[in-house]
Structure 1
Amino acid sequence: MTRTLYSHRAPEPELTHHSVVLREVVKVYGAGPTTTRVLDNVSLAFPRGSFTAVMGPSGSGKSTLLQCAAGLDRPNSGSVTVDGIELTALDETALTRLRRDRIGFVFQSYNLVPTLTVQQNVTLPAEFASRRIPVDAVRNVLARLGLAQHAHARPATLSGGQQQRVAIARALLSEPAVIFADEPTGALDSRAAAEVLGLLRDAVDRSGRTIVMVTHDPVAASVADAVVFFADGRVVDAVRRPTADAVAARMTRLTDGFARHGGVR
């Protein structure tokens, strides 16, 4: 089975073995002399049931990569396939439906509705999709994430780590093919961050989810199966079975070189 993590050429993996495949993706912002090529012919494939961290200096293109891979932004050229469906071929209605049904999101800002309870927040995407989630399924997920006693609480009464757990519960309940996480521990203290990373790791190991996480934190990246490094809109390296020290050292070299030559975004 092909287990491609990254390539400078377009990968040709069997789509059944990969949750996300990007082929020669280009993303450009601006026009004329102000044009910035934020993603430069990026080809990546993320195996099903894997946890991949994406790292790079600020402005390297990693957040844009996540946006394009998750269907939140459209590339100028190239293709993006999620769960066997090519996003670039979908109209906005179909793209919205696919994001709702097959993709989970966990962001640094949590994106919870303050007037709703924890239970209402985690079932909200399903309600938008007119899909009923069994009460037992909701209870099980909340219990697994240590939120059972907070089911009827409002987000404002919870700690940052607890709110991020609610966001993870919301992502898991839709049983997505892939969860995209953008700096999910950036606003948390070290203890809460460790708990959240453990929950994401558990979603891969126990439930077979695929997770793609953008992070600046070598400790967070060390929880992943592999780390993909970005610079100047390109994949420049990848490390399997990462350690925090190895990731930090690679990032230091990458950031120093990026600062000398200037970044893209």
Structure 2
Amino acid sequence: MQELLLIGIGTGNPDHVTRQGAGAIRRADLILIPRKGAGKSDLAGLRETIINAVTDTPPRLSYFDIPQRRDDDGYLRGVDAWHDAIAARWQAAIGTSPEAKVVALLVWGDPSLYDSSLRIAARLDPQPRTRVIPGITALQALTAAHAIPVNEIGAPLVVTTGRQLRKNGWPQGVETAVIMLDGECSFGTLDAAEFDIWWGAYVGMDEELLISGALDQVADQIRTTRAQARAEHGWIMDIYLLRRRN
């Protein structure tokens, strides 16, 4: 392998793939497809749909299973060990096609925003030339779906995780925060009467779910909707924006 392409594919809608991203998919000799368990098999299928939508003759696909992450030794050490294990799976999948010069991986959202593809790529040996092709981020898809600006005029915002919200509370010095990677509805740790929320799951896809309003009025609806959707599909990808009321 001489070149590794990390291609942002938005939130799973083939229309979210840029022309640059489509061209990169067509350039690839081999595309790595992660599998995250039987309950999430349609995640691999969505990647296959995108590849078929932008190619006449799809490149070879190589599948690999995502290992389970363990936090027995602490969160950061667990993530570091997990990335090592994923890099080893990438290496093995690439090894199935030693003649492939250009290898690609389709990344949900954008490979530079709360994604570890670049950190995992840095573990490959030998190191390929790595290129990032940006896609539509989940943040862009969320604000577009709700038809809202991401920030107030001239005001800063924070993009953070559910873990950080639970651990540290509301970020200081901002009125708006976008919360990603939250499997525990961490907005429940806040004083709901102080915030409005714009929540979305499967944003931009046929299964899209959107809820917005005063947090104290819609929090339970979000929890119920999220749990039902996860049970139905076996997986969920969601994101939300919180804004403190003036």
Same fold per TM (> 0.5)? no
TM-score by length of 2: 0.31
TM-score by length of 1: 0.29
